């Protein structure tokens, strides 16, 4: 049973490691004036980083 669990964990982590290398996020808010911008999403998906990047660009 432990061998099976270890094998499944190794496979899962290998898939996650491959996926991390291939996720590209290229999003931008539309360029509008006097509009409130909201980023909605799951936890720990980069919303704060997205807002920080947007504030540096504009």
Q: What is the pLDDT of residues 40-51, one digit of tens each?
A: 888 887 888 887
* Cβ-count burial 33-49 (b if 16+ within 10 Å, e if not): eeeeeeeeeeeeeeeee
CA dihedral 49, 51, 54, 55 (to 10 degrees): -110
Q: What is the sign of the dihedral through the CA atoms of 28, 46, 40 and 17?
A: positive
Cα–Cα–Cα angle for 40, 44, 11, rounded to 5 degrees: 125
pLDDT, mean of residues 11-26: 76
Taking only the tens place, the pLDDT of each residue in 19-45 is 766 666 677 777 878 888 888 888 887
Is the model's pTM score more than 0.75?
no
């Amino acid at each position: 049973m432990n061998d099976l669990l270890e094998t499944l964990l190794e496979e899962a982590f290998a898939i996650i490691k491959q996926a991390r290398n291939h996720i590209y996020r290229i999003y931008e808010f539309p360029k509008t004036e006097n509009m409130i911008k909201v980023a909605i999403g799951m936890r720990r998906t980069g919303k704060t980083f997205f807002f920080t990047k947007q504030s540096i660009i504009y």
